[in-house]
Chains A and B, each alone.
Chain A
Amino acid sequence: MPNRLGKWFGPWLCVAVMLAPATALAQDRGVTRRAQRSVVVLAVDDVTRPWVYLSIEGIREVFQETAPDIAVFQEFLDSTRFDNPDYIIGVREWLGRKYKDQHIDYVIAYGQEVVDFLSRAKGEPWAGIPLVYLEMTGLSIDISQTLPYATGVLLENNLAIALSVMTQVLPGTNRLAVIYGASPLERERFAGFPERIAQMRPDLKVIDLSGRAMDDLMTNVAALPERTAILNLSIQVDAAGRTFSPTLPCRMIAEGSNRPLFALGLHDLGCGIVGGSLRDWRRVGRGLAERALNLMNGAPAANVTMPVDNYCSIIFDARQLKRWNISEARLPAGSVVQFRTPSLWRDYHREVLVAIAVAGVQAALIVGLLFEHRRRRRAEVEARRHMTAMAHLDRRAAMGELATSIAHELSQPLNAILQNAGVAEIRLSKKPDIGDIAETRDILADIRKDDLRASEIIKRMRGLLQKRELALGTVDVPGLAKDTVALVRSEATSRGIEVVTDIPDDLPAIHGDRVHLQQVLLNLVMNGMDAVAAQPAERRRVVVQAAAHNGHVNIAVRDSGTGLKVARPSEIFEPFVTTKPQGMGMGLAIARSIVDAHNGHMGADNNAESGATVWFAVPVEGKES
């Protein structure tokens, strides 16, 4: 059996390694080259086949890791497809010519065909150069004479294991559809497989689907009987002469078949095969390179033991396991499962734990921040409540200052009412049958008018004395100014001060709390009155102005007093800063916190001529945010 296996696998598994002696020097294009060892890899199949390029990659990897100075060349004979003797002679000559100036230290040969090639014709072109070959469980020829420096890597057959793994994961399987391509190479290489499988596994009935055109194959694999598995050995070229890239056939078959698909190379995993015992050609390459390195390090070829390995791993594709409903419990011990649908816990449990911990910490932080936010919010509410409470006290103080004037103002209508009532009584007592109804009616009308006037004064006062939180709404500025001026009118009169408004009627409404804004304005007006109280009569004048500007309404109180006697006008808004002998210094500080709560701003300036202007601006209704 080894011989036959060698015949099947040998051609594409022969690697010859040739190493150049370290002393070799070569001149190339006038540049002095350092002594460099070199290896030539000689294969049968073209290098685009996965088993070739993967194993060459394995070789390069090892050299790269351990002896990066070794140059690797690769050649392929293509002798399976072109086996006429002239061609072989030509190749030999061509190689000789090609490597005339390139010293080769080792040859890695893929399989018996290459070993044959090198051992015939007295080892030309690289006679006597140490050789590492790869072959399936040994060569069928004796090369000890012609190639004394040869050593090999013996590749154990994997087919039996692959089939047993297959039936282990799919226990009821009793048919195996075997697929390979229609190229001469494939025909020669795989022709014996169906028979061998039948011998090896009598329990499996082989369905031979070799050498078909792809369309035909697809039709067949779509309608396979139950309990059938498919084994794709290789399709390089189909019966219709169509050439396929290495992994495409597996993808196509897996896509179109109604039964699970298997193959023998690890490179097919992920292309639709279920998995199983799969050969890793990269590892094969590494084995060859390590062997070559042993030789290079001086171990005589004859003493280097020949390892026997199948270079296989039992690996499955989780997606296919799922597709064919194969429980992972049935997989052989030590199986690796790839392409899992990302199961974070299985693949990344450490990372997941870290992520959960991070998320937990983050959640704790968020909760903490929320808590903090709530505390802050509560503090803000508290501060706002304090502000409104302070504002209320301030309003009461202001009303206290105005109390005398307001009492006087209130006494006017009350006096008129009392006297009118008295007159009416007198008239009635004197002339109960008086016919002058018109006069009495007039008296009553006057009483009513004065009563309303009194209640208006009380309402105005009570409005300002309300204790309440900020309640934002629409506030018309002219009305606000008018009411405020009305509140101080009596006081102004008694102090001989003229308080006037100069406000356009078309001013937009503002967004705010009427009571609090009136308090601010009242504060400014009363300050203005204090500022002009000591002035000569013609300068005892306070003007309330308003203008819309930049989404705000700016309300200013302008006096003609002596101006602000502070370094910076804005100082007057600081708590406990006062310019008045009896002042607490809280009025403007409270006013500013009220304006702040309206998203407004406040300022003060000395006028160019005389006195000062203190102003505040509050957003226009609808632009408050």
Chain B
Amino acid sequence: MTERNAVTVHVIDDDESALKATARVLKTAGYDVRLYASAGTFLADVPDGPGCVLLDMRLPDRNGLDIQDRLNDLDCPLSIIFVTGYGDVPKSVRAMKGGAVDFLTKPVEAEVLLQAVEQALARNLQVLAVKAQRTSARTRYERLTPREREVFAHVISGQLNKQVAFDLGTTEHTIKVHRQRVMEKMRADSVADLVRLAAILNVTPVGSVRDA
């Protein structure tokens, strides 16, 4: 379980008593809660820290799905739990495709709400972790020279040094040196490690594996 007071649950609902009740549930569970009576006040200053958003589907000023799109555009890591007064299948499908963690139909039991929040926060942590990984991998990747990046792309395709050397028109030894440098700079222990990083970084493998 995450450290609850370290995360913030953002609740957006135009209904005052709904807002109050939800806040009460979350606070009782120990969460830090921030309340918004409209989409506008929320979007005016989109938070990014760890946490999640409880978003009412119907808001006077903005549709819940619009807010989701907006957060995605901003690459906001906050997980979204949709809450709606009345089940609406097409909307829930769209919401889930847009990355929503959950789609709750009012009235929502306090327990269910807390579970959903828990889940959302877990997802948020994952996202944050992936994001952190990507950031660090990106930083490392950016330190590679262009020749090392070429070697990186060939290595992750599963080619042997000899094949890489052939493709890049150099000696096997040079490739070996570059490869060593890449592994060091990327802090990879193995080729498998390197492939995982490549996935994070969206680096496309180059070259075909042939029988030696």
Contact = CB atoms under 8 A, between A and B. Distances in A.
The residue among B20, B61, B113 with the most chain A CB atoms within 10 A of its own CB is: B20
A82 B120 CA distance: 152
Interface stretch (A26-34, A35-43, A327-335, A413-421): A413-421
Nearest to A498: B60
Interface in B41-94: 58, 60-61, 83-86
A503 B7 CA distance: 48
Interface stretch (A226-234, A422-430, A541-549): A422-430
A416 B60 contact: no
Contacts of A416: 15, 17-18, 20-21
A414 B110 contact: no
Contacts of A425: 110
Interface in B21-38: 21-22, 24-25, 28-29
B107 interface: yes
B110 A423 contact: yes
Interface in A464-494: 490, 493-494
Given A416-B20, A416-B21, A423-B28, A404 B109 contact: no
A467 B66 CA distance: 41
Nearest to B14: A493
Contacts of B189: none
The residue among A404, A407, A414, A415 with the most chain B CB atoms within 10 A of its own CB is: A415
A422 B18 contact: no
B60 A418 contact: no
Contacts of A449: 17
B196 interface: no
Interface residues of A, number: 30
Contacts of B20: 416, 446
A432 B21 CA distance: 21
B85 A408 contact: yes
Interface string A2-20: 0000000000000000000
B110 A417 contact: no
Contact of B108 (A408, A418, A450, A494): A418
A407 B86 contact: yes
B111 interface: yes
A408 B58 contact: yes
B78 to A, nearest CB: 21
Contacts of B113: 419, 422
Contacts of A423: 21, 24-25, 28, 110
B134 to A, nearest CB: 37
A414 B29 CA distance: 21
Contacts of B143: none
A422 B60 contact: no
B106 interface: yes
Contact of B21 (A408, A409, A419, A427): A419
Contact of B107 (A415, A493, A494, A496): A415
A412 B108 contact: no
Contact size range, B = 20 to 34
Given A418-B109, A419-B24, A419-B110, A496 B60 contact: yes
A427 B24 CA distance: 11
B107 A446 contact: no
Nearest to A426: B28
Given A415-B18, A494-B58, A422 B106 contact: no
Contacts of B15: 412, 416
A421 B109 CA distance: 9
A548 B84 CA distance: 42
Contacts of B105: 411
B65 to A, nearest CB: 13
A499 to B, nearest CB: 12
Contact of A422 (B25, B61, B84, B85): B25
A308 interface: no
A420 B113 CA distance: 12
A207 interface: no
A418 B17 contact: no
A239 interface: no
A218 interface: no
A443 interface: yes
Interface of B: 14-15, 17-18, 20-22, 24-25, 28-29, 58, 60-61, 83-86, 105-111, 113
Given A419-B21, A449-B17, 4 more contacts: A415-B85, A420-B24, A423-B21, A426-B28
